[in-house]
Structure 1
Amino acid sequence: MPKRRKPHGREENDALGIVVTWLGHSTAVVDLDGVRIVADPLLRRNNGILRRRGIQPVRAAWEAADAVLLSHLHHDHAEVPSLKLFQGVPVLTAPANATWVRRKGLDGRGLADDEWFPVGAEGHVEVRLVEAIHDSRPMPHRPNAANGHLVRGPSGVAWLAGDTDLYPGMAALSEIAGGSIDVALVPIGGWGPRLSPGHMGPQEAAVACRLSAARHAVPVHWKTLHVPAGEMVPRGWMDVAGPRFLEALAAEAPDCRAVDLDIGGSVTIPTVVSPGD
């Protein structure tokens, strides 16, 4: 794993840490050591039949990406018009999904199970696929592979879980990363009041944070999309997952700090510097 960078010797505007920006649903931007990575981009006002609540992502929040992470090809994660905003940018995903991405005229990169892909000009930030259990809604017209991602650099490690059920291998993520999980982006809801199999709700997401021993958690995949006229039926369903996750995390993983972002909000996850650095 790249050695974590010491705080001295950095430019004044080169913050030590991972900056996570949540753009709604599962779309997130991870800025790490001069590299920008965008996950599951949904960047338009709406997503097919699904309506967006909250602001449409502003271009400055996601442009100039060095890589795109694609967890799977369900339409609320892999929207072709949004992906086409990243011409020439490597799209890192499972091999079967990468073939589909290339058919769309984009730079799909299918990663092997144990492959770390260098991102950015210096290559000091790396991305690897990790397991995700999400096979309950197969699509006849798109590949059905699913994965999460680990992103690591000198300033730390981020785990983007993707859509998944709980699985025992979450306990091995820090070992795979070669260091502790500094921030986990975990899904806690959906675009309807009921979750289908292959998704984590607030309680399962809290367990995932305990298993992975993440230091911080950013809940995603909630509070954003809904079917037409479904925002208020039943009343309040779009907003309950966040508070439930905070409560569950306090019980399951009290050492993990939850960061409940508004859509469009950002947080800097500080690096833990070893005493000898």
Structure 2
Amino acid sequence: MTSGDAEAPGPTAAEPGRAAPSSVPRADAAGPALVVRWLGHATAVLDVAGARLVTDPLLRRHAGLLRRRGTQPDARGWADPHAVLLSHLHHDHAELGSLGLVHDAPVLSGAANARWLRAHGVEGVAVGERSWWRVPGTAVEVRLLPAVHAHRPMPHRPNAAHGFLVRGGGRVVWFPGDTARYPAMADLPALAGGAIDLALVPVGGWGPRLSGGHMDPVEAARACAAVGARTAVPVHWGTLHAPVSGQLPPGWMDEAGPAFAVAVRRLAPRCRPVVLRPGEAYAVP
């Protein structure tokens, strides 16, 4: 792999079978209650009971020095979100150019992050860990969660990191953001008031070695077992690479997603792993 564009990953062995992006409708009153579309790295589009949410939007070709392989996400797949869920301010999660593309949507994060966003022209909205924030015009609610992700502090941005719970239409979604596994994850169904229907769980990074404050495929599978997730889509893998990627082991970008599916079947057998390619969508049953 060179420092320029690379081919998108090939098919994986995940189950169940994938649905082509065009064949999965946006969730609304007449359609599925929960649809997820993965756009690469930590960016996913959640259509939940009539609300559209985008996680950690990386919508342009690159994130600082990091390069995206394949093309940037098709705007038709993420257009008109009701809100953005921003887990933390690392450049591969809080890319200001991408946030500018969703300028009409409130960007939900912790208080320190929201203040920084507002100072940089983004509509940052602080949400808390003790109450639910209602997505305007919908019955969907969002709540902040703790995250363990402090191994690479930035000197020029706040370093608060969080995850999210989303509930609406009788469905619950867990987006942990970048985090290590921690014991209180087992309490999430109680906080949500129901089982975790979908986990968007990070399983890799933008290099073959992970720093602290992350989960590899096995740790992510254990986290899904701890929360009792019914369906899990691996994110934060296979998308970004550093310019020196041509010097790294070949194929490393394609390993984490399939490895997660294997680990889930072994460690969380009641959870259904769904490995998507960037741009693919899945209607959660």
Q: Same fold (TM over 0.5)?
A: yes
Q: Who is 1:46 aligned against?
A: 62
Question: Structure 2 counterpart of 1:73, which letter?
Answer: L
Correspondence 1:239 to 2:254: yes
CA contact (8 A) 2:208 2:252 kept: yes
1:1-277 alignment runs, 5 A limit: 14-122=30-138, 124-230=139-245, 233-270=248-285
Q: Note closer, same or farther for the CA distance 1:13–1:112 as it changes in structure 2 (3 Å cut).
A: closer
Q: Quick one: percent identity of the two aligned structures?
A: 56
- Which whole-Å CA distance do the structure 1 matches of 2:246 and 2:169 have between them? 41
1:49-75, Cα deviation, whole Å (9 max, x unpaired): 111012310111111000000000000
CA contact (8 A) 2:28 2:50 kept: no
- Which whole-Å CA distance do the structure 2 matches of 1:185 and 1:13 have between them? 23
CA contact (8 A) 2:28 2:48 kept: no
Q: CA deviation at 1:231?
A: 5.2
- Which whole-Å CA distance do the structure 2 matches of 1:133 and 1:210 have between them? 18
Which runs of 4 or more aligned residues in structure 1 lie more than 6 Å from their structure 2 counterparts after TM superposition?
none
1:192-233, Cα deviation, whole Å (9 max, x unpaired): 010000000000000000000000000000000001140572
- Which whole-Å CA distance do the structure 2 matches of 1:220 and 1:92 have between them? 19
Q: Note closer, same or farther for the CA distance 1:152–1:237 as it changes in structure 2 (3 Å cut).
A: same
CA contact (8 A) 2:83 2:107 kept: yes
- Which whole-Å CA distance do the structure 2 matches of 1:183 and 1:165 have between them? 19
Report SS of the residue matched to 2:284: strand
Q: Who is 2:22 aligned against?
A: none
Question: Structure 2 counterpart of 1:79, which letter?
Answer: E
CA contact (8 A) 2:29 2:50 kept: no
CA contact (8 A) 2:37 2:45 kept: yes
- Which whole-Å CA distance do the structure 2 matches of 1:115 and 1:93 have between them? 13
Report SS of the residue matched to 1:23: strand
Normalised by the size of structure 2, how large is the TM-score? 0.88
CA contact (8 A) 1:52 1:224 kept: yes
Aligned-residue RMSD, C-alpha: 1.4
- Which whole-Å CA distance do the structure 2 matches of 1:142 and 1:159 have between them? 25
Q: CA deviation at 1:105?
A: 1.6
Q: CA deviation at 1:120?
A: 3.2
Question: Structure 2 counterpart of 1:132, which letter?
Answer: A
1:65-89, Cα deviation, whole Å (9 max, x unpaired): 0000000000000000101112231
Give the length in aligned residue pairs.
259
1:219-257, Cα deviation, whole Å (9 max, x unpaired): 000000001140572111111112211111111100100
Structure 2: gaps (5+ residues): 1-26
Q: Note closer, same or farther for the CA distance 1:239–1:141 as it changes in structure 2 (3 Å cut).
A: same
- Which whole-Å CA distance do the structure 2 matches of 1:225 and 1:231 have between them? 13
Normalised by the size of structure 1, how large is the TM-score? 0.91
1:89-113, Cα deviation, whole Å (9 max, x unpaired): 1111010000001111221111122
- Which whole-Å CA distance do the structure 1 matches of 2:83 and 2:252 have between them? 33
